[in-house]
Amino acid sequence: MTPTPLAERDAFRLSRFGAVWQQELEDIFVDVAPYYDRANYVASLGLWGWFSRRFMAMIELRPGQRVLDVCAGTNAVGIALLKREPSLEVHAIDRSAAMQAVGRQRAEALGMHIDGRIGDVHVLPFPDNHFDVVTLQWASRHLRVHDLFREIHRVLKPGGHFHHCDMLRPGNPLIERLYYAFLRISLPITGLFYRSGTAAMNARKYFIDAIEAFYTADELSQVLRGLGYCEVESKSLLAGMIGLHRAAKSEPGQPCPGIAKHRGHGSH
């Protein structure tokens, strides 16, 4: 499929996948919530933990900071951050009550408190300039990226940082074809192993199509800069199959001080 121009990408994605986002994703996540983390580990051939560690390594923390984890799911990010810095004030938001129920149980079992909310992440229920750090992992390909990234920019404090991680569309056509071939094998095998329900099994084609219509790491960096983020830095893992991004919100009246950086293939 020829990629849609960046300016039209979200509109194309909404027209193609809007019904899935509105009507089917909730049933999918109700189905997978109890085994979501374990299934991702299996489907990634054991690399899931490495992806998460690379993402966590990009996040700089200071004691007492206020953090928001968007599309928090099972609270994996919030828990990992609290293990590093227990003094953080961590908030979470997700549309899936089932995923957050699992996340709340995980946090409570570790004696941690994460202030969780259920709601539409495209309209964040928080004031302007409120968070020092905002994170978003494994979810943006199911969302209206421009609307969400604009909202995250709004709730970030000046000088705060946004950290993003997701499965992206590889920039190399050969890698892209190999990626989809692997997913066509791994997704059904994982679904059968965990006895996934009808909703999850029927979504296998959607998960691949959503990546094919998504952004490369470089394209997502362009989106971030276009929305006013500064110091945009990206890392590509597995030849662009996974992308990590870090971006800052500038101080009022100050131009973006940084130059965009790109690091390839997880070698840094």
Mean local confidence (pLDDT), 24-43: 93
Q: What pLDDT score does 254 carry? A: 76
What is the token pair recorded at 176?
Answer: 């892209």
pLDDT at 258 over 50: no
pLDDT tens digits, one per residue of 211-234: 999 999 999 999 999 999 999 999
What is the token pair recorded at 94?
Answer: 């997700």
Question: Shortest CA distance to 106 belongs to which of 27, 26, 38?
Answer: 38
Q: What's the number of CA atoms in the CB half-sphere (13 Å) around residue 170? A: 17
How far is residue 48's CA from residue 204's CA, in Å, rounded to a whole number? 19
Question: Shortest CA distance to 138 belongs to which of 120, 165, 161, 116?
Answer: 165
How far is residue 93's CA from residue 131's CA, in Å, rounded to a whole number? 13
CATH code for residues 6-263: 3.40.50.150
pLDDT tens digits, one per residue of 63-73: 999 999 999 99
Q: What is the pLDDT confidence band of residue 210, given thresholds at 50, 70 and 90?
A: very high
Bridge partners, residue 116, by sequence = 92
How far is residue 252's CA from residue 158's CA, in Å, rounded to a whole number? 7
pLDDT at 198 over 80: yes
Q: What residue segments make up the domains of the chain, in order of their start?
A: 6-263
Q: What is the pLDDT confidence band of residue 253, given thresholds at 50, 70 and 90?
A: confident
Q: What pLDDT score does 265 carry? A: 46
pLDDT at 260 over 50: no
Q: What pLDDT score does 264 carry? A: 52
pLDDT at 49 over 80: yes
Mean pLDDT of the chain: 93
pLDDT at 267 over 60: no
> Parallel, antiparallel, or unpaired for β 89-94 and 115-118?
parallel
pLDDT at 261 over 60: no
